[in-house]
Amino acid sequence: MAPAQIQPVPAAAADQIVPEPVRAGIDVEINGESFRHTGDPAMPLLWYLRDVLRLTGTKLAGAHGESGADLVLVDGKAVSAITRPMSTLAGRRITTVEGLAAADGSLHPLQQAFIDEDAIGCGYCTSGWLIAALDLLKRKPHPGDDDIDQLPNRCRCGTQTRVRRAIKRAAAGSVA
């Protein structure tokens, strides 16, 4: 048989929806859009992204983000999303992997470089590599091998040599 489709939750009819009063919460900007978190302030950013906003490109990477798959940019710096409670993020600007491409869908040069170098294994940790590499390129537009060596990410598929090439390719393309 064909794979059955997971059934979505039925939506309430429009006339049953009663607007809620505006609730207090933590305001954050994520990928250029404004959001207000009204739940548990102790909730880590990772679960806010994945469970509440359903932005699942940022992955679970261990209780302390050890593998780097949960990296996001907070005000331009790479941060492990599981280690940051929402309470610390009021007014912050957050970029996830879903926010790297331009609004018209054109890819960031680093994303294109990962495709060009086929720097993808299973792909689970790729978003973390992209975020860490962006952070690096921001600090060092033309990173050397020793700079790239400092990336915190871990990858069991063994894509590190291709990731290195992708970062160099992106750096070479950006005449900074």
Question: Which residues of the shown chain bind other proteins in the complex (CB under 8 A)?
Answer: 1-9, 40, 43-44, 47, 50-52, 54-64, 66-67, 69, 96-98, 100-101, 107, 111, 114-116, 118, 120-127, 130, 145, 148-164
Question: In the complex with other proteins, which residue's Cβ is closer, 48 or 92?
Answer: 48
Q: What b/e string do you get for 73-94 counting C-beta neighbours within 10 Å, with b at 16 or more?
A: bbeeebbbbbebebeebeebeb
User: 46-51: long-range contacts (C-beta < 8 A, 24 or more apart)?
Assistant: 46/70, 46/81, 46/82, 47/82, 48/86, 49/81, 49/96
Q: Give residues with Cβ within 8 angstroms of 18, minimum separation 6.
A: none
Question: In the complex with other proteins, which residue's Cβ is closer, 27 or 40?
Answer: 40
To the nearest whole angstrom, how small is the minimum distance from the Cβ of residue 76 to other proteins? 18
Question: In the complex with other proteins, which residue's Cβ is closer, 122 or 172?
Answer: 122
Question: In the complex with other proteins, which residue's Cβ is closer, 92 or 136?
Answer: 136
Question: In the complex with other proteins, which residue's Cβ is closer, 90 or 107?
Answer: 107
Question: How far is 146 from 168, CA to CA, in rounded Å?
Answer: 12
To the nearest whole angstrom, how small is the minimum distance from the Cβ of residue 3 to other proteins? 4
To the nearest whole angstrom, how small is the minimum distance from the Cβ of residue 4 to other proteins? 4
To the nearest whole angstrom, how small is the minimum distance from the Cβ of residue 1 to other proteins? 5
Q: How would you classify the pairing of strands 26-30 and 93-95?
A: parallel
| Residue 118 φ/ψ region, left for φ over 0, alpha for ψ in the -120 to 50 degree band, beta for the rest | left
To the nearest whole angstrom, how small is the minimum distance from the Cβ of residue 79 to other proteins? 16
CA dist 27 → 109, 150, 160 (Å): 30, 33, 36
